[in-house]
């Protein structure tokens, strides 16, 4: 991947409710950081747009720290046009509070209703902007109907590949050092993999990208 420019998103996003609270998720960023490092090992110039995460990132990777889905969207919109490959592994919030209270919300009644609005879908937006030379890889994290949902995301988001993680596999998903993935590409090929360390899963993902999009020509 010498000379190739790669954009990776990783980690969760934090959607602010008030100055002390947010809506987040259990993503740690480990998988995305491992992919960024493997891309770098193969000679790529890597930019990592990373949500709140305590994972250490190799020097040499250009780190763009972000907090919210909106921040991540803005960063990716700017970086993507100059990239050859984009891998969207971040667990982006699908909804964000309509109001971000300037002061801490005090407890009052028995119930509290938060109104949420949809965030911009980064993968889908980049899928609409993608040129024929760019490779766009998305992730799907599912608990049921995994294959059907993964194939649906491949289509609706105009991705070239979808990496599926199933939460039904023990040892796969948020927080673990291992993961079990299946890759689907837009030509209808399925690549199943065994449970491995996230470092070795990253090697499989990068190898599959190289094999499908670069080694053939
Ligand atoms: N994603 C994104 N921007 C969002 C939401 C998701 O770029 N606002 C990306 C993720 O990084 C991942 C893929 O889309 O690569 C799948 O995300 P997911 O949230 O599972 O898919 P959704 O289309 O939001 O569908 P659902 O939540 O119904 O499964």
pLDDT at 169: 76
User: Average of pLDDT values for 203-216?
Assistant: 94
pLDDT at 177: 84
pLDDT of 171 strictly over 90: no
Rounded CA gap, 152 and 3, in Å? 32
Rounded CA gap, 33 and 64, in Å? 12
- Of these residues, 2, 25, 99, 200, which one is catalytic? 25
pLDDT at 182: 96
Mean pLDDT score across all residues of the chain: 95
How far does the chain reach from its first CA to its final CA, in angstroms?
14
pTM, rounded to two decimals: 0.95
Q: Please indicate whether residue 187 or residue 7 has the higher confidence score (pLDDT).
A: 7
2 is catalytic: no
Rounded CA gap, 205 and 183, in Å? 8
pLDDT of 76 strictly over 90: yes
pLDDT at 217: 55
**Ligand 1 atom showing the smallest separation from residue 125 Cα:** 7
Specify the residue with its C-alpha closest to ligand 1, atom 21.
140
Is the CB of 57 inside a 6 Å radius of any atom of ligand 1? no
Q: Using 50, 70 and 90 to split pLDDT, how confident is the model at 66?
A: very high
């Amino acid at each position: 991947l010498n000379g190739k420019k790669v954009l990776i998103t990783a980690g969760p996003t934090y959607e602010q409710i008030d100055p002390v609270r947010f809506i987040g998720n259990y993503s740690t960023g480990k998988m995305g950081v491992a992919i960024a490092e493997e891309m770098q090992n193969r000679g790529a110039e890597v930019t990592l747009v990373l949500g709140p995460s305590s994972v250490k990132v190799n020097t040499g990777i250009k780190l763009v720290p972000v907090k919210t889905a909106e921040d991540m969207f803005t960063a990716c919109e700017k970086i993507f046009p100059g990239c050859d490959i984009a891998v969207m592994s971040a667990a982006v919030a699908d909804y964000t509070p309509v109001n971000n209270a300037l002061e801490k919300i005090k407890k009052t009644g028995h119930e509290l209703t938060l109104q949420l609005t949809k965030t911009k879908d980064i993968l889908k937006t980049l899928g609409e902007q993608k040129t024929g030379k760019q490779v766009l890889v998305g992730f799907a994290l599912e608990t049921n109907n995994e294959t059907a949902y993964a194939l649906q995301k491949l289509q609706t988001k105009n991705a070239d590949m979808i990496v599926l993680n199933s939460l039904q596999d023990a040892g796969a998903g948020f927080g673990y050092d291992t993961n079990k993935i299946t890759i689907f590409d837009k030509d209808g090929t399925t690549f199943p993999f065994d449970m491995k360390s996230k470092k070795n899963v990253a090697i499989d993902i990068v190898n599959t990208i190289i094999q499908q999009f670069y080694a053939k020509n």
